[in-house]
Structure 1
Amino acid sequence: MKPSKQPPQEVEERLGTLVELEAWLRTPMLVLSALWLVLVVAELAWGENLLLSTLGTVIWVIFLIEFALRLALAPDRLAFLRANWLSVIALIAPAFRLLRGIRVLRFARAARGLRLVRVVGTANRGMNALRGAMRRRGLGYVLALTGLVNLLGAAGMYAFERAPEVEGGFSGFADALWWTSMVLTTMGSAYWPVTAEGRVLCLMLSVYAFAVFGYITAAFASFFVGRDAEERTGGAKS
């Protein structure tokens, strides 16, 4: 990567302005990210309607403006785009919803592919929002993130593997939520996805479960061992 040709003072001013902007927008963007998550889950689980689509479009435009402002203030725009490539994809994907007249987008495979991108992008935005809201990224952060992944994963799996479109698929969102919970607890289930998008999402959920389940188990074990040690110490002193 080529070094920046901007004067050091200008780079510092840009960084300072960018930090101030992100601090000022942290709370409203956190609220919008939570609302966006609810809208995505609702649309995937129960289908689209005019109200949800309108609210989603308004929030998406706000996200575009916020990202454009951060990009304009970034001293190195190429590095900024590389660091936020998933956010870029997540912001581009909803634009295809405005182009439904294009014939290729009428195919079910293209629609499911865009849904998968939307699920992953929403999870990424939710993760960033949680990271900004919770300064100490300990057990509470991991549990909150796992709940977010569970909810989004269930909505995505229900959209991809819905019965009767898929033989043996989920008959309701509650079934998909239970199935995703079993995957995240590494217990598994008798049902395995049929569609390509469902299999990709299932793989992502399994990798996430493998990465965090050991941490959560160790954290709970440490908590109970610590309490047991405190009780023994207190009993010995008395």
Structure 2
Amino acid sequence: MPIPDSEEDEQLQHERYELLHQITEWVETPMLVLGFAWLLLLGIELIRGLTPALEMLGTAIWIIFILDFLLKFVLAPQKLPFLKSNVVTLISLVVPALRLFRLARVFRAARAVRGLRLVKVVGSLNRGMKALANSFGRRGVGYVLALTSVVLLLGAAGMFAFEKDTPDGLHSYPEALWWTAMLLTTMGSGYWPRTPEGQALCFLLSLYGFTVFGYFTATLASFFMGRDADDPEAEVAGAAAVAALHEEVRQLRADLRKGRETGSL
């Protein structure tokens, strides 16, 4: 008896999902290593530029990213949802092609080279976020600390690249690092970016800093409340005190039930 077309399509999609999941697991560790190497190369490029050897290494990693993306796109059963969920990744992969094929002169004439760098920085941060998520599972303070460190280091490199030629700008990477750290802690400083790209990156860093600052505040509050809860004389009830209270209630119910049974006899 022939299988209906709808069942064949569902079976084919299921097989493609399984194959995509299996290939993703196989390449997870190598792509994780290459993702961090890409972030390192981008930081060096923004701060002092790349040597020809490092440029070749970056191009090789970029080609591997392209092949990985194309493979996942071909295997993805739903093409449009896949592209929608990877828009930033796709744009960050297209940007290096402009330089590779020497189309950057057109954008240089349009005074948009820094804009391309901004897209590359944001796309690389997005890739770093995914790499860290695969490492830490998007859980715990360790993931947030590692992600914040990446945002701090790469964000400072981007701010230095955008603002180093402006009057009274960020003329050294340590200065940009200090400025970015103050921004992420929501303290700020007396300097504000002059270039449009620096202002855009400053806005994104401010949003991240505002979100993460609230997370760390809640984490610290939970930590100190947990310490107070462990103290028997504290006003806050801890897990042990609640468990003891539950045990007392359970014992009282058992005694009441036993008293009723004795009275009925």
- TM-score w.r.t. the length of structure 2 is 0.82
Partner of 2:232: 233
Instruction: Trace 1:13-92 onto structure 2 (pairs within 5 A).
Output: 13-92=15-94
1:197-223 CA-partner distances (Å, limit 9, x unpaired): 000000000111111210111102211
RMSD between aligned residues = 2.0
1:71-127 CA-partner distances (Å, limit 9, x unpaired): 010001111111111110010011111133663233483210110000000000000
Partner of 1:201: 201
Contact 1:184–1:209 (CA<8 Å) still a contact in 2? yes
Change over 3 Å in CA distance of 1:6–1:121 after alignment to 2: farther
Q: Give the secondary-structure state (helix, strand or coil) at the position aligned to 1:233.
A: coil
Question: What is the distance in 2 between the residues matched to 1:204 and 1:72?
Answer: 32
Deviation of 1:225 (Å):
2.5
Higher relative contact order structure (alpha carbons within 8 Å, sequence separation ≥ 6): 1
- TM-score w.r.t. the length of structure 1 is 0.91
Partner of 1:168: 168
User: What amino acid sits opposite 2:135 in the alignment?
Assistant: A
Partner of 1:183: 183
Deviation of 1:155 (Å):
0.6
Change over 3 Å in CA distance of 1:89–1:102 after alignment to 2: closer
Question: What is the distance in 2 between the residues matched to 1:96 and 1:195?
Answer: 22
Deviation of 1:234 (Å):
9.2
Partner of 1:154: 156
For structure 1, the residue ranges without an aligned partner over 5 or more in a row are none
For structure 2, the residue ranges without an aligned partner over 5 or more in a row are 1-5, 235-239, 241-265
Partner of 1:220: 220
Contact 1:116–1:156 (CA<8 Å) still a contact in 2? yes
User: What amino acid sits opposite 1:90 in the alignment?
Assistant: S
Question: What is the distance in 2 between the residues matched to 1:143 and 1:18?
Answer: 30
Contact 1:43–1:52 (CA<8 Å) still a contact in 2? no
Deviation of 1:24 (Å):
0.8
Question: What is the distance in 2 between the residues matched to 1:8 and 1:118?
Answer: 38
User: What amino acid sits opposite 1:10 in the alignment?
Assistant: L
Contact 1:100–1:106 (CA<8 Å) still a contact in 2? no
Deviation of 1:136 (Å):
5.0
Select between 67-76 and 216-225 the one with higher mean Cα deviation: 216-225
1:177-234 CA-partner distances (Å, limit 9, x unpaired): 110000000000100000000000000001111112101111022112212332x239
Displaced runs of 4 or more, over 6 A = none
Matched, 1:145 2:147: yes
User: What amino acid sits opposite 1:207 in the alignment?
Assistant: L
Partner of 1:103: 105
Deviation of 1:6 (Å):
6.8
Question: What is the distance in 2 between the residues matched to 1:227 and 1:150?
Answer: 31
Contact 1:123–1:149 (CA<8 Å) still a contact in 2? yes
